[in-house]
Amino acid sequence: MALIEKRGPAQYRVRIRRADLPNPITGTFASKVETEKWARRVESDLDAGKRVLFLADTEAKSLTLRDALERYRDEKTIHKSGAMQETNRIARWLKHPLAPKMLHQLVPGDFEKYRDERLAAGKAFATVRHELNVISQVYETARFSWRMRDLDNPLKHVKRPPAWANPRSVRLNGTVELATFLAAIMPESKHCTTEQIESAKRCTLAFEFAIETSLRRGEVATVTPAGTNFKECWIEVGRQGMLHGNLKGGTRRVALSTRAVKILKTLSLPDESSPWFGVSVRTLSAAMQRAREKLGLKDFRLHDLRHEATSRLFEKGLSAMEVATMTGHKTLTTLKRYTHPNVTDIARKLG
């Protein structure tokens, strides 16, 4: 039932109370006609079973998905270890037709439609799950960090592709020889400068080092001599740019193989604090793209080197806990997703 009362010379307030509502829905308008029109529409929606959201916070009522994504990117994403990847996902959402809509007006069906369209387009389960997770994190941040507690998170009612389904199993081994892959990183143009050739050589060493140690792209680009102990054969690896880095695992020590030690000792650096390889994450990505185009490896990605490295560690005879110490994985479930043993080798062991 809607109760309308005059609050002033040009102010009318309506309050709708119903047994199925936890709180009354209220609204304030400049004219009685506008107030009655709004009350009829809300009651009609309630009778039809439609979702009507009451928001006490004025900002929550006017916040669009685009505004929320941009604020989340500027306040939260920049402190994450995977900031670049999440920024790219947010950039995609900002171009989507849902971006201009009010945050409180989006319903589970909107995101179920998005999920189905992305999967129908052939996108990997993990890709779609990560994209939906970003939106869920935006809603939770709005509710708790921005104090919009009445805002409902529609992603809680959306079934997301499971993490264990359709995992990647691409390995360098069986696709192309390591020497061939590393050679493809070098540019062939006669117009390349000495600096560009030197950078490509360092990328080649960085990729080989990544396969030897199972380090992530960002970790390879930031390891330094100051965190290296050649006597005990380990290197200290940290997660850069994280607001709560220590809570997420902080730094870890990764054992160095004989080949990994040789790679580092071939490099020359101006000081102890400079990164070993002297190349940025973007430079490594560009080098991988160059190798992919040369060798026609359309489905091979830079992060697949981590899958290759993890699988090789198991093939060398390391235990699961020893491999997890190298890779930094916190659970065996995650470690399993990065491990792709050669079936032929397993058959050979069976005899």
d(CA 33, CA 155) in angstroms, rounded, equals 37
Are both 340 and 295 inside the same structural domain? yes
Are both 47 and 65 inside the same structural domain? no
d(CA 254, CA 169) in angstroms, rounded, equals 24
What mean pLDDT value characterizes the chain? 84
pLDDT reading at 38 higher than 90 = no
pLDDT digits (tens, 9 = 90+) for 229-248: 999 999 998 765 444 444 45
Evaluate whether residue 170 is within a structural domain.
Answer: no
pLDDT digits (tens, 9 = 90+) for 54-89: 444 556 667 899 999 999 999 999 888 778 889 999
Are both 76 and 109 inside the same structural domain? yes
Evaluate whether residue 173 is within a structural domain.
Answer: no
Are both 336 and 205 inside the same structural domain? yes
d(CA 209, CA 230) in angstroms, rounded, equals 15
List the end-to-end C-alpha distance of the chain, in Å, as a whole number: 79
pLDDT reading at 10 higher than 80 = no
pLDDT digits (tens, 9 = 90+) for 278-318: 999 899 999 999 988 888 888 788 888 898 899 999 989 99
Token pair belonging to 291 = 């190798």
Are both 11 and 82 inside the same structural domain? no
Output the domain CATH number for residue 65: 1.10.150.130
pLDDT reading at 187 higher than 70 = yes
Evaluate whether residue 75 is within a structural domain.
Answer: yes
HSE (side-chain half, CA atoms, 13 Å) at 271: 2
Decide: pTM greater than 0.85: no
Are both 131 and 251 inside the same structural domain? no
Q: What is the mean pLDDT of residues 20-40?
A: 78
Neighbours of 5 (CB within 10 A): 10
- Looking at the chain, the whole-number percentage of residues with pLDDT higher than 90 is 37
d(CA 43, CA 32) in angstroms, rounded, equals 16
d(CA 128, CA 116) in angstroms, rounded, equals 9
Residue in 135, 159, 122 with CA at minimum distance from that of residue 64 = 135
Q: Tell me how far CA of residue 93 lies from CA of 70, 100, 112, 203, in angstroms.
A: 10, 10, 15, 32
Q: What is the mean pLDDT of residues 19-30?
A: 73
Question: Which residue is it, tokens 């806990």?
Answer: 321
Are both 293 and 346 inside the same structural domain? yes
Domain, as residue range, for 6: 2-52
| Total of domains in the chain | 3
Output the domain CATH number for residue 233: 1.10.443.10
Evaluate whether residue 163 is within a structural domain.
Answer: no
